[in-house]
Amino acid sequence: MKKGIALATCLTLLFGVITGCSNSTTTSQPAGQPSATPTEATKTEPMVLRWSINSEPPSMDPGIAVDADSFDMIYAAFEGLTSYDLNGQLTNATAESFTNTPDYMNYTFKIRKDAKWSNGDPVTAHDFVYAIKRNLDPKTASEYAYQLYYIKGAIPVM
């Protein structure tokens, strides 16, 4: 059980959690003015996220970032397979669902069909495998690679 939670946590931390803005369906209008419909409001008003950070993030690369400002931005830009809700309960993120064997040694994730990269390309299992292998590669020099050592075969042979 602990290994399962640790793996889910690692995957969530590795890929971050994307933060979004919701579009309000109500807008304040001056008295006597007809109110705009939600579709008109979304066409004319850009959605803006203003976020105060302590400093310029040194890196947006999840494989090499080590500071809080970088991780804040990474969590806002990337979505992991799983995430946590406001009550701290594990929820699906990019994963539509997942199953595990009773011994928690094997996990199978089903990725949402609507999961897309910013350019519209579909997110695939290969993308997650690539990211994990890249973080484990000594050439990447990821300081947090040890967080993936829960994965069988991930610990480098010295």
Burial string for 118-146 (b: 16+ CB within 10 Å, else e) reads eeeeebeeebbeebbebbbeeeeebebbe
Nearest-angstrom CA–CA distance, 111 and 97: 7
Categorize the per-residue pLDDT at 156 as very low, low, confident or very high, splitting at 50, 70 and 90.
confident
pLDDT at position 70: 93
Range list of H helices, the chain: 2-15, 38-44, 68-77, 125-136
Q: With a cut of 60, say whether residue 37 has pLDDT above it.
A: no
Tell which wins on pLDDT, 56 or 3: 56
Find the range with the poorest average confidence among 35-39, 52-56, 110-114.
35-39
Domain boundaries, the chain: 2-21+34-148
Helix H or strand E segment including 123:
none
Record the pTM.
0.65
> What would the mean pLDDT of 110-127 be, rounded to a whole number?
95
> In CATH, which of 3.90.76.10, 3.40.1390.20, 1.10.1510.10, 3.90.1150.10 is domain 2-21+34-148?
3.90.76.10
Q: Which residue has the higher pLDDT, 156 or 4?
A: 156
Phi, psi of 40 (to 5 degrees): -70, -40
